[in-house]
Amino acid sequence: MRRETFTVSGPVALVVRAPAGAVEIEAAEVSEAIVELEALRDGAESAVEGATVELRGGSEHPELLVDIQHGLRFGGRRGPKVSIFLGRGPSIRVGVRVPVGSSVEVVTDAADVAGTGMFRRADVKSAAGNVRFDDIDGDVSIKCVSGDVTIGSVGGETNVKSVSGDATIGRVVGPAALHSVSGDIEVREGDASISVNTISGDVRIGSAAQGEVALHSVSGDLTLGLRSGSKLWVDARSTSGKTTSEFALGDEPSSNGGPLVELRAKSVSGDIRVVRA
């Protein structure tokens, strides 16, 4: 295993490119960035040992580069930056510890990505790996093919696109847009507008507080939970599925006080349910 340590003055922008293996990132109360590279398969040792690891860019905008053969340059636009480039072929565990509030960008073919702690921003592109983060203070953008996505909370905007993987988010504070072909999507708590589109996956919004909630599916079931104290307006249509509600529904929003949730739900054969959160 190879280990490199660099002193940093605050949060960094971490960029990881990993073809296969695992990417494990921890945000902690530290004043240094630590990178560990470990070969997970025979033949990857030379890629780990031959990697170029250097700190550059000055004290105001430092860059920590971990460059493995045939890697492609991939950088952020501003702020302190940590960049990890992994060429195609070797299976490697990338372990990184960065200060709390750092941002993360990851591009991978088949590596699982896990982030523990609080991050400022997360941008992940994955073909076959699972993606998991604890908490993101700002925006999140995740695109994956077959991996599952699990996030504890998102303070900014949320954008998730998946083909067959499931997506589960504990809480979204800002607007959220989620798309899937066959994966299920669940948002346990939503504090702003939410848009979800699926073909065959089920959709569940556990608790919506305000804003427009637009749910569309061909064969998946759609479920919305209304948070106590919120008003509800519904436009729900299913061609062959059932539409049920635990609330009395009318053509106009309730005149009672409280934030308004506007539900627009459409499904071809899936059921639509409105329940109490």
- Convert the pLDDT of each residue in 107-153 to its tens digit: 888 889 999 999 999 999 999 999 999 999 999 999 999 999 999 99
Q: How many domains does the chain have?
A: 2
Residue 51 has pLDDT above 80, yes or no: no
Contact 56, 65 (CB under 8 A): yes
The answer to whether residues 55 and 150 belong to one domain is no
Domain end position, chosen among 109, 134, 159: 134
> Between residues 107 and 38, which one has the greater pLDDT?
38
Could you give phi then psi for residue 219, rounded to 5 degrees?
A: -120, -5
95 sits in which H/E element: strand 91-99
Q: Is the pLDDT of residue 80 over 70?
A: no
pLDDT of residue 105: 87
**CA–CA separation, 19 and 105 (whole Å):** 14
Same-domain pairing of 128 and 142: no
3 and 100 share one domain? yes
Give pLDDT tens digits for 5-25.
998 988 888 888 877 889 999
Both 10 and 104 in a single domain? yes
Query: Do residue 169 and residue 60 come from a single domain?
Result: no
- 93, 109, 134 - which closes a domain: 134
CA distance linking residue 269 with residue 247, whole number of Å? 22
| Cα pseudo-dihedral 86, 89, 94, 100, rounded to 10 | 40
110, 134, 158: which is the final residue of a domain? Answer: 134
Question: Cα(202)–Cα(140) distance, rounded to whole angstroms?
Answer: 22
Q: And the tokens for 220? A: 């998946």
| pLDDT recorded at residue 86 | 54
Residues 42 and 168 in one domain: no
193 in the same domain as 268: yes
- Domain extent at residue 215: 138-277
As given in the structure block, the two tokens for residue 134 are 């604890």
Domain identity same for 87 and 181: no
Inform me whether the pLDDT recorded for 205 exceeds 60.
yes
